[in-house]
Structure 1
Amino acid sequence: MSADTHSITATDAADNTGEVSEALSITIDNTAPAVTINQAESQDDPAADTPVRFTAVFSEPVSGFADEDADTSGSTAAGPLSVLITEADPADGTAYEVAISGMSGAGDVIVTIPAHAAQDAAGNTSTAGTGDDSTVAYDPALNDIAYELSVSHATVAEGDEGSTALTITRSGATSGESATDFEIGGTATFGEDFDSIGGTGGTSGLTGSISLAADESDETVEITLSGTDGTVNCTNNQAVLTIADDDTAGFTLSKTEIAVSESAPLTRKYLSVCRDDG
């Protein structure tokens, strides 16, 4: 019988035929559910903390997908690794979180899903899982990463147009990628007192520069580092550069010469001394 709409009649032994039944819709499902397994959207890679999370997505609602249906035998991270599978949004039997924990050393956490891990409502079992992002590099030493910030000269004169060196030093674990955020504050104005902050970095940190411009009063550039996640520590995380006003105060005499007659009566003469600026 094909998948279609059918009607049924019955005939007894005396060749009597009954009434035609109401139309019956018959669906034949022989398609196996497909599944993909990839890193969870919020999962860090590399990761320093557990559990490491993956998401399994089936092409249709399934049941019977249990902890033992996720295979971590291809992982290089020391174990023993353990698996916890829970249903995820949209909570309709199509999406599951696969959480891996138990890592005792650095290495890759790899998850695969073998064939027949789950079944649909018609009893078809799932095909082997596919995915292009089912590996997470795990390294607990990433928790030891720290950054320290410094500038080569804490104070520069306003007329010293050019640049001063900026150094961000990374310590602890220096293998793999890591990142830190920074904020710029202070009283100096971008485009007036300084033009740019930039540089190039690597696994040991970043060496850059602050480009300066002349100004008329003391200004500061404050740079503050902050970790992008819980794996980054920032010690000595603030550097303050002062762009010093180098206009010194001066004085002006109101008169440069005062003439008096030796025969004239004694009188007082006044000399004004005016401070310029600074």
Structure 2
Amino acid sequence: MKLARLLLPLTLAASLGAHAQQGVSLATGLTDFTTWSLYGSATASNMTPGNGFTYSDLQLTAAGTGGQGGAGFAPNAIALDFNQAFAFDFHFFIPVSQGLRGDGFTFTLSDTAGVGGAGSGLGYDGLSTASVAFAIDTFHFNGEPVSPSLQILSGGSVTPLAATETGLGDAIRDPDFQWYASVQYTPSGLNDNAGMLTGTIEHLNLGTFTVSAQVSFDQLGLVGTPVFYGFTAANGLATDGHFVTSAVPVPEPGSGALILAGLACLGMLARRRRAR
């Protein structure tokens, strides 16, 4: 399946990464998702389709197939100080599908890597009580936030701490433009391992949407624990696919030669220093 997509300006992601002292930018440089730990229906692949970019795709659920739950987590846990700010960012897209829209996906911080319940569980439900997630929920039952909604989840539960209804409807499925998303944390300043967690999605044509909730990482049990970061997704009767993607421009032949020449010069300088 050929997927047409255009990246949002990388300056957005570069600006976020430059100001964040903690966290990981998955929207700048190439994140090789084939090195990640995959669970359930998740798959990962790399390709250079000839449009000037190399892509790495994390497919959490496959478009056109229901009843799936998948997750992908970075292979190594990281240390986070919850009395300091942190940020993560990434690009995602949901291909156009002829079926029912749903169910959604999450960006998750957890002491455990894996996949939770399918369907409305978003691959997060039951994952770990020591976890928090930013969810893009694209299906709702009566009495729930109208989808697509942005939600902050915690404790392995899909009952949201906070939710924002976007009003996007099926427009959230866009085959030509990716969404840019960020998760940012602002500590309380009281050295209590608590603060405001904010999730944002941004689109070139459809606007910006955000959700925020107060979170206590001490109460969640994540303080002093290595933290895994990654994504979960699920569909049930719905058949949406959920993709997280990374891309970098393919160097032109002349650029590659310059890089090799530069590396050769560095090697010569290093040899001269050792000779002295």
Question: TM-score, normalised on structure 2?
Answer: 0.22
Q: Work out which structure has the larger RCO, using CA pairs closer than 8 Å and 6 or more positions apart in sequence.
A: 2
Bigger-Rg structure (1/2): 1
Whichever structure has more helix as a proportion of its residues is 2
